[in-house]
Structure 1
Amino acid sequence: MLRRNFLLALAALGLALLPHPGLAQNTRSFIDAAGRHVELPVQVHRAMAAGPPASVLLYALAPDKMVGWVRAPSAEEKAFLASPYRDLPAHGRLTGKGNTANIEAVLAMKPDVIVDVGTVDATYASLADRVQQQTGIPYVLIDGRFDKSTESLRQLADILGEPGKADALIKFTDEAMQRLEKVVKTIPSDERPRVYYGRGPDGLETGLAGSINLEVLDAVGATNVAAGAGSGGLARVSMEQILAWNPDVILTLDKNFQDKVGTDPAWAGIKGIQNRRIYRAPTLPFGWFDAPPGINRVIGVAWLTSVLYPGRTTVDLRQETKAFYRLFYHVELGETQLDSLLATATGKP
C-alpha cells in the first residue's frame, strides 16, 4: 500500500512537471542572432528595447507595441516623433555604456519580450541569458550591423508576430542600398576621400577599424583615417595623430565642434579644414550617421553620398528625407522642418 501511494505521488509530480498544454500552444521557438533558442509568446503586445538601436528599430516598425523609451526624447527630438509615442515613459537601458535599467524597472514595464539590436557576441549573449533567467521574460538578440538592416527589420517583424509589417521599410532600405552601390561603383579609388569622424565637443573621440559607429562610412566607399590606430569601438585620439592623418573631410554630429573647428589654429593645417569640407550629420530625432548605430542610418546613405561625392548622385535629398520620416518615424515633415534638418548637412565655411 505504501509503495502504491509512493508511485502515485511520483506520477502526480511527473504530470506537474510536464509543460502545460495551454502554455505550449501559446509559445513558439525563435533562434536569435547568437544562436540562442528563445521561447516567444505567439502574440506579443508589449516589447521593450534593451538599448538605443533597438529602441529606434522598435519605434520604426511597431510603435504601438513599445513599452517606453530607453531615454526620454528631448523637446527638439519630440518634434520629429509621432504622438502619442513620443511621450512614452523612459525605462533606461539594459546594455552598453551607462546601462541604467534594473530588474525591478524591467518587471514594472511588463514586456512580453525584450529586444537588443547591435553587436552580437558572447558578452551580449551572456547578458541576455542572465536577464531572461532573472525576469522570466524572453530576451532576443538581433544583429545590428548596417549591412544587415533589412534582415533586422524582417527579424523584428517575425519576433512581434507581424511578418508583413516590415515590407515597406525593407523596400525603402533595399532601394537606398542599391542606389548606393551603383554610385560607389562609379567612383575611382583615388577620388574616394579619407575621412575623420570627430565625436564630442572637442572632436577627439572617433571610431577605430571595425567600429559599428563608422559602418556607413565604409558602406559609401570612403576611408576611415583612424582605422590604422587599431580596431574595436570608440577611442580617444590626439591632435598629433589627426594632423598626421591629414583627412580630406571632417564629419561630426556635434554643433559645438563644427562651429569652432574651422577657426581653431590647431586644426588649420588639415586638408579638410583648408578646403572647408566639414560636415555635420543631422541628428533629429536620431543621428543620420551614428548615435545610435541603428536603422536610423539608412537615411544617412543619401546624405553622405551627396556630401562626399557631389554631383554623382541623382537622389533628391529633400524627397528622400520626407519619405524616410514618413515610413520610419511616422511623421509628415513640413518645409521648415526639412530646412532645419538639411541646414546642418552642408559644408561649414
Structure 2
Amino acid sequence: MAAAAGVKRRALLIGALLATLLPLGPVTPAQARSVVDSTGRQVEVPDTITRVFAAGPPANVFLYVLAPDKMIGWGRAPRDEDKPFLLPAARDLPELGRLTGRGDTISIERLMASHPDVIIDFGVTSDTYRSLADRIQSQTGIPYLLIDGRFENTAAALRLLSDILGVRERGEALARAAEASFAEVDRVVASVPISARPRIYLARGIDGFETGSRGSINTEIIERVGAINVVEGVRDTGGIARVSPEQVISWAPDTIITMEPAIYRAIMERPEWQVIPAVKQRRVILAPNQPFGALDLPPSVNRLIGLKLLLHKLYPDKVSSDLRRELREFYRLFYQVEISDADLQRFIDAIGN
C-alpha cells in the first residue's frame, strides 16, 4: 500500500515537472500570425521572420531589393561581374537552387535543412503555382507565400510583402518610387499617337531567336511602355518561344531590345539580321544586365529601371529627366549600392544615349 502510494506521488511529481516544461497551449497561435497572400490563401507565418527562401529568380530579386538581410541564399549564385552591384553581405550567399522557373533544382531535404521561416514566390499566381505552394507547405510545414508579380502590381506587391516581413518603411519607399515610374510612363505614352509607337522585338537566348510572345510576363515591359510586341502566332498568349530568322524578318520590328552583349554583336554583324528595319536603322538597344536584367531576366522589380531606359530611347523628345541621375538613384535605392561613373557611362553608351 505504501509502495503504491509512493509510486503515485512520484507520478504526480513527474507530471507536475513536465507541465512546467511544456507550453500551456498550442505553439502556433502564440508564435505565429495569419496573413493573406496574393491568391487569397491564408497562411500562418512566424511573428518575426528572419530567414526567407525565394522560390525562383523573380522572387530572389524581389527579396534582395526589399529585405536582403533576410535572404538565406540564391537560386543561382550571382556572376562575378554582377557582384560589385550587390551588397557585400548578399553577394556571396550560397547557391541553394530553386523550386520554380525552368525546372526545380532544390530537393525537399535540402530546403528543410536550410531552415527558412517562410518561402516566397513572386510572379505568376495561377492554379499550377498555387498547387505547388500547397504541396510544398504540406510536405515541409514551411509557410509558402505567393505574391502577384504582374508588372502593374509592383507597388502593391512591395507593400504586401514588406508588411509581412516587417520592413514596411522600406517597402513604402520602394512602392512610391515604382508608382512614380509608372506615372511618368503614363504621361509620356499618352502624348504619343498609336501610329507613332515603336514595334519591338525582344532578343533572348544564345542567338537572339528566343523571345516572349504577346501577353508574356517576360515582355510586359514592351506593352507597358506603349510599344507593340511584334511576336505573334508562335503560341497561345504568353510564354517564351523559339522563333526563326524568317519569322523575325516577317515581323519587321523597327526596334530590337536585348540585354546580352553577345546577342547585340550577333544582331549587328550576322547577315540574317541585316534586312530587318531595326538593324538597318541602327535601333538596337543593349540594356544593362548587372546585377539583373533591366528588361527581363528575371521579370521582377529590376524591370523598373528598364522603363526609364526605354522612355529615354524610344521617346527622347518627350522626356526631360536626366537619365544619368535616374540610373544612379535607382541603383542607390533599389540595389543599395553606389554605381561608379565608369559603369554609369558604360550603361549610357550601350543604350545609345
Q: TM-score, normalised by structure 1?
A: 0.91
Q: Deviations over 1:34-61 (max 9, x none)?
A: 2211111111111110001111111111
* Offset at residue 225 of structure 1 (A): 0.4
Pairing partner for 1:194 from 187, 195, 199: 199
Show the counterpart of 2:278: 272
Q: Which letter maps to 1:213?
A: N
Q: Which runs of 5+ in 1 are unaligned?
A: 1-17
CA distance in 1, matches of 2:54, 2:74: 7
Q: Distance in 2 between matches of 1:239 and 1:221?
A: 25
Q: How far apart are 1:283 and its partner, in Å?
A: 0.3
Shift of 1:161: 2.6
Most deviating of 183-192 and 101-110: 101-110
1:228 Cα deviation after fit = 4.2
Mapped to 2, the partners of 1:246 and 1:19 lie a distance apart of: 70
Task: Render the CA deviation track for 1:290-314: whole Å, top value 9, x for unaligned.
Answer: 0000011111111011111122211
Match of 1:151 among 145, 156, 161: 156
Aligned partner of residue 302 in structure 2, secondary structure: helix
Per-residue CA deviations over 1:179-208 (Å, capped at 9, x if unaligned) read 111000111111101111111232111111
The within-5 A match list for 1:211-250 is: 211-230=216-235, 231-250=237-256
Identity across the alignment (%): 47
1:182 aligns with 2:198: no
Give 1:330 shift.
Answer: 1.0
Q: Is the 8 A contact 1:209 1:228 kept in 2?
A: no
- Unaligned stretches of 5+ residues in structure 2: 1-22
Distance in 1 between residues matched to 2:341 and 2:95, nearest whole Å: 30
Secondary structure of 1:85's partner? Answer: helix
Q: Distance in 2 between matches of 1:261 and 1:157?
A: 41
Give 1:19 deviation, angstroms. Answer: 10
2:294 is equivalent to residue 301 of structure 1: no
1: CA distance, partners of 2:212 / 2:248: 13
* Residue 332 of structure 1 pairs with residue 338 of structure 2: yes
User: How high is the TM-score relative to the length of structure 2?
Assistant: 0.90
2:47 aligns with one of 42, 48, 51: 42
1:312 and 2:318 matched: yes
The separation in 1 between residues aligned to 2:207 and 2:56, in whole angstroms, is 26
Paired amino acid for 1:272: A
Give per-residue Cα distances to partners, 1:232-259, cap 9 Å, x unaligned. 2000111111111111111112211211
> Is 1:171 aligned with 2:176?
yes
Distance 1:34 1:341 in 2: 37
Name which of structure 1's ranges 307-316 and 110-119 shifts more when overlaid on structure 2: 307-316
Match of 1:252 in 2: 258
Letter aligned with residue 306 of structure 2: G
Distance in 1 separating the partners of 2:175 and 2:32: 27
Distance 1:253 1:99 in 2: 25
Q: Corresponding residue for 1:70?
A: 75
1:29 aligns with 2:5: no
1:60 aligns with 2:65: yes
Aligned amino acid, residue 196 of structure 2: E
Judged with a 3 Å threshold, the aligned counterparts in structure 2 of structure 1 residues 27 and 188 are, in CA distance, closer, same or farther, namely same
Is 1:291 aligned to 2:277, yes or no?
Answer: no
SS at match of 1:295: coil
Q: Is 1:42–1:161's contact at 8 Å kept on the other side of the alignment?
A: no
Amino acid at match of 2:316: P
1:314 aligns to what SS in structure 2? coil
- Equivalent position amino acid for 1:165 in 2: R
| Contact residue 57 and residue 101 of structure 2 kept, 8 A | no
Kept in 1: contact 2:213–2:239 (CA 8 A)? yes
1:104 and 2:109 correspond: yes
Deviation string, structure 1 residues 259-286 (Cα, Å, up to 9, x no partner):
1212322222211111010111110000
Q: Residue 48 of structure 1 aligns to a residue in which SS?
A: strand
Shift of 1:226: 0.4
2:285 partner amino acid: Y
Matched residue, 2:15: none
- Hey, what's the Cα distance between the residues in 1 that align with 2:331 and 2:278? 31
Q: CA deviation at 1:229?
A: 3.5
Which residue identity is paired with 1:220?
A: V
Is the CA contact (8 Å cut-off) linking 1:251 and 1:281 kept in structure 2? Answer: yes
Verify: 1:207 aligned to 2:212, yes or no.
yes
User: CA separation in 2, counterparts of 1:341 and 1:133?
Assistant: 45
Aligned Cα RMSD in Å?
A: 1.6
Greater shift in the superposed pair: 278-287 or 103-112:
103-112
CA separation in 1, counterparts of 2:87 and 2:60? 14
Paired residues, number: 330
- Corresponding letter in the other structure for 1:155: L
In the alignment, the residues of structure 2 paired with residue 43 and residue 122 of structure 1 have an alpha-carbon distance, to the nearest angstrom, of: 29
Return the alpha-carbon distance in structure 2 between the equivalents of residues 170 and 246 of structure 1. Answer: 37
Q: Which residue is equivalent to 2:120?
A: 115
Q: Report if aligned partners of 2:260, 2:289 keep a CA contact under 8 Å in 1.
A: no
The equivalent residue for 1:12 is none
Distance 1:25 1:208 in 2: 48
Native 8 Å contact 1:284 1:341 kept in 2? no
